[in-house]
Amino acid sequence: MASQDWVEKDFYAILGVSKDASEADIKKAYRKLARKYHPDQNPGDAEAEKKFKDITEANSVLSDPEQRQQYDAIRAMGGARFSAGGPGGGAGAAGFEDLFGGLFGGGPGRHSRGFNTGNLPPEFADLFGGGGFGGAGFQPPPQRGADRQASTTISFAGSIRGTTVGLRERDGEVIEVRIPAGIRDGQKVRVRGKGGPGSAGPGDLMVTVHVRPHDFFTREGDNLRIHVPVTFDEAALGAQIEVPTADGPSVKMKVPAGTSSGRTLRVKGRGVKTSKGSGDLLVTVDVVVPKNLSKEAEQAIRTFAEAVSKNGQSDPRAHLAEKARL
């Protein structure tokens, strides 16, 4: 991205966060906007697609501490920025596009590119000792090439199982990036030797991975949370039910008798699997109350209510007034 672009675009305003927003605030704002403006949710809407590109670009910069620091400095200085890379500003490596959307349904990603300032261009060498001392020529030590930045968006399934995406250079070269199973939204994958050239060897390509939200599974660390409906009688009497998992077939789970709506039950080891271990599946129970009752069912419930009352069950709202006292 050219420095002029960074001056003209207010990434904080695009994401709707303050300039001192934390990484968590930025991530939360991005996920909310990405869900709203994603092209899959707005087919044929050019304005929504443009907004999605803008918020993805903003998140790519602000979620990377190094790029965010450079962005803030450039905005403060009005656009002055060194750009590492080969002659001509790094021609032939100025951008990427997805060749493969991912083996598990990951569609085309949105990519951005940046540079660090680890290596100065030759024209600035004299300012930092390259012109010689005392008449003697001075050669700077060999330096490794600058790292380059890119980003891609993958499906939720791809993040759980692992996937592969292909990033294509402008010169046609395809760089395959292997995404490990269990990767989180915002994490980076390093592709060694695919950065800018340098006298001591090329730098690396740092790919920031964004994960599309899922309609059913919600990730919490390495745990996965789902909401499962149960009937009134299953909650009251207890039941054995089947719940879906992200890594395979459904698993049987016991719902204890007397389970209230909103209670969370845990299925060990059926969350996100990574090289470090496995998370759990957190199942939040939602008790479904029937809307249309037959006369027999209605009478049965009335009989049930009377029996419970005679059994001395306390009023669940008995202490609300005391709790609400100001």
Domain-embedded: residue 205: yes
Please identify, among 157, 188, 213, the residue that sits at the C-terminal boundary of a domain.
Answer: 213
Residue 49 predicted with pLDDT over 60: yes
Strand order, beta sheet including 205-211 = 148-154, 205-211, 188-191
pLDDT bracket for residue 75 (50, 70, 90): confident
- Residue 133 in domain: no
Is pTM beyond 0.85? Reply is no
Based on the fold, state whether residues 189 and 111 are members of the same structural domain. yes
Q: Which residue has the higher pLDDT, 194 or 134?
A: 194
Give the pLDDT band of residue 278 (cuts 50, 70, 90). very high
Residues 285 and 180 in one domain: no
165 and 225 in a single domain? The answer is: no
- Cβ atoms 21, 10 nearer than 8 A: no
- For residues 312 and 263, the model is more confident at 263
Residue 177's pLDDT band, with cuts at 50, 70 and 90, is very high
Question: Is 91 a member of any domain?
Answer: no
The predicted model gives 295-313 an average pLDDT of 82
Reported confidence tier of residue 5, pLDDT bands at 50, 70, 90: low
- Going by pLDDT thresholds of 50, 70 and 90, the confidence category of residue 78 is low
- Decide if 138 is inside a domain: no
Report the pLDDT value the prediction gives residue 4, as an integer from 0 to 100.
Answer: 54
Would you say residue 124 lies in a domain? no
Residue finishing a domain among 197, 213, 229: 213
Backbone φ and ψ for 2, nearest 5 degrees, come out as -70, 150
Judging by DSSP bridges, how do beta strands 281-288 and 223-231 pair with one another? parallel
Sign for the CA dihedral angle at 9, 13, 19, 24 comes to negative
Domain for residue 122, yes or no?
A: no
Is there a single domain that holds both residue 241 and residue 181? no
Read off the pLDDT of each residue in 26-47 and give the average, rounded to a whole number. Answer: 88
Task: Judge if 53 and 111 occupy the same domain.
Answer: no
Residue 203's SS3 state is: coil
Give how many domains the chain has, as a whole number. 3
Q: Residue 308: which region, alpha, beta or left (left: phi > 0; alpha: psi -120 to 50)?
A: alpha
Q: Which domain holds residue 181?
A: 96-117+144-213
Same domain flag for 7 and 65: yes
Q: Residue 32 sits in a domain of what CATH number? A: 1.10.287.110
Token pair belonging to 263: 């209670």
To the nearest 10 degrees (0 to 180), the angle between helices 23-37 and 46-62 is: 160
Looking at the structure, do residues 314 and 283 belong to the same domain, yes or no?
A: yes
CATH (domain of 169): 2.60.260.20
pLDDT at 293: 85
Q: Is residue 307 part of a domain?
A: yes
